[in-house]
Amino acid sequence: MSYKESFLSYLQYEKRYSVHTILSYDCDLKQFFDFISRDKELVAIEDIGFRDVRKWIVFLMNEGKTSRTVNRKLSSLKSFFKYLLRNSVISLNPMDRVVGPKQAKKLPGFVAEHAMQVLREIDFGEGFEGARDQLIVEMFYQTGMRLSELMNLTDHSFDRGASLVKVLGKRNKERIIPVNKSLEKLLDDYLELRNNTFGKGDGFLFVTNKGIPAYEKLLYRIVTKHLSKITTLSKRSPHVLRHTFATHLLNNGAELNAVKELLGHSSLAATQIYTHTTFERLNTIYKQAHPRA
């Protein structure tokens, strides 16, 4: 077994990464070693130095790859060489002296609070589909769930006595999110219509109008359709509602650490991007209200 195959097995069986993530690592490593082999034939793994990695960065940038893409590929290399160092395959990590290209932080788009209030008054339609669509949009906004997390909810995900929903996030990490009475009411209305239409089952919470489990494109389409009624944002996706959830919490005084836990972020770094958005709001208020501004 090659070092690369051993590393990928480690990701699969010990780190329990998804198939998609492992394929991404495999592709990045293959691209790197294909590039190295152009200059050096049969290069030994311990002979690879930081200059080789820097040459690859230059090559990728010249190929038109974005800073974001290059840094993601470097992240794959860092994990690989860290694995080799830990297993005494190499004595020096070539990635220690490598710095990736800087990338501009893209602020997440979000829907204004007044627009989300308008959404509550919109007619989602009668019957099962209307109740389902409204619950989906409100679930995204009131919990900040990812698309994949909401798609995999079951009836048993909810603890009605404690007003909580249990979510299985990235890397099978479980987290608990509170739900309020208004969301529980929408849930009850939807379940009654769903069960009367398709019968009570133990499968997924959300189903199509044919009674089969809802799929990603359907959920995306539902959110896009209804957000189009209240916002001119170019992107109107479930992830925008996740951004909206986080931004509105911070705007109304929530602590950053609490928002981090609700979103299921592994570190504060991922959550801190929302502070840029809320700072813009504070800056606007300051300029409007302070006599010296």
Residue 62 is assigned to a structural domain of this protein: yes
- Above 60 in pLDDT, residue 293? no
Q: How far apart are CA 74 and CA 71, in angstroms?
A: 5
pLDDT in tens, 172-210: 889 999 999 999 999 999 999 999 999 877 789 999 999
State the catalytic residue, choosing from 170, 175, 220, 226: 170
The partner residues of 175 in beta bridges, in order of sequence, read 167
What phi and psi values does residue 159 have, to the nearest 5 degrees? -105, 95
> Residue 62: which domain range?
3-97
Q: How far apart are CA 292 and CA 256, in angstroms?
A: 30
How far is Cα of residue 96 from the mean position of the Cα atoms in its chain? Answer: 28
Q: Tell me what pLDDT residue 71 has.
A: 93
Q: Tell me what pLDDT residue 120 has.
A: 86
Instruction: Respond yes or no: is residue 146 known to be catalytic.
Output: yes
End-to-end, the C-alpha distance of the chain in Å comes to: 66
- Above 80 in pLDDT, residue 162? yes
Instruction: Respond yes or no: is residue 274 known to be catalytic.
Output: yes
- Look at 172 and 139; give whichever has higher pLDDT: 139
Mean pLDDT confidence for 112-141: 93
Write the burial class of residue 118 (CB in 10 Å: 0-12 exposed, 13-18 middle, 19+ buried): middle
Please indicate, yes or no, whether residues 36 and 126 belong to a single structural domain of this protein.
no
CATH number of the domain that 7 lies in?
A: 1.10.150.130
- Above 80 in pLDDT, residue 83? yes
Instruction: Respond yes or no: is residue 235 known to be catalytic.
Output: no
pLDDT bracket for residue 279 (50, 70, 90): low
Percentage above 90 pLDDT, the chain:
66
Please indicate, yes or no, whether residues 187 and 261 belong to a single structural domain of this protein.
yes
Please indicate, yes or no, whether residues 25 and 75 belong to a single structural domain of this protein.
yes
The partner residues of 178 in beta bridges, in order of sequence, read 164
Mean pLDDT over each residue of the chain, to the nearest integer: 89
State the catalytic residue, choosing from 146, 194, 248, 260: 146
Instruction: Respond yes or no: is residue 290 known to be catalytic.
Output: no
Where are any strands of DSSP class E within the chain? 158-159, 164-168, 174-178
Asked if residues 8 and 25 have their Cβ atoms less than 8 Å apart, the reply is yes
Residue 80 is assigned to a structural domain of this protein: yes
Please indicate, yes or no, whether residues 121 and 89 belong to a single structural domain of this protein.
no
Asked if residues 141 and 256 have their Cβ atoms less than 8 Å apart, the reply is no
Ranges 31-40, 56-65, 123-132, 237-246: which has the least confidence? 31-40
Mean pLDDT confidence for 86-90: 93
Please indicate, yes or no, whether residues 273 and 163 belong to a single structural domain of this protein.
yes
Q: At residue 5, what is the residue type?
A: E
Parallel, antiparallel, or unpaired: how do β-strands 158-159 and 174-178 relate? Answer: unpaired
Please indicate, yes or no, whether residues 126 and 246 belong to a single structural domain of this protein.
yes
Asked if residues 24 and 69 have their Cβ atoms less than 8 Å apart, the reply is no
Instruction: Respond yes or no: is residue 242 known to be catalytic.
Output: yes
Residue with tokens 């919490």, as numbered in its chain = 249
Instruction: Respond yes or no: is residue 20 known to be catalytic.
Output: no
- Above 70 in pLDDT, residue 289? no
Residue 102 is assigned to a structural domain of this protein: no
Please indicate, yes or no, whether residues 124 and 263 belong to a single structural domain of this protein.
yes
State the catalytic residue, choosing from 242, 243, 248, 260: 242
Please indicate, yes or no, whether residues 67 and 128 belong to a single structural domain of this protein.
no
Ranges 11-15, 215-219, 255-259, 282-286: which has the least confidence? 282-286
- Above 60 in pLDDT, residue 290? no
In the chain, how many domains are there?
Answer: 2
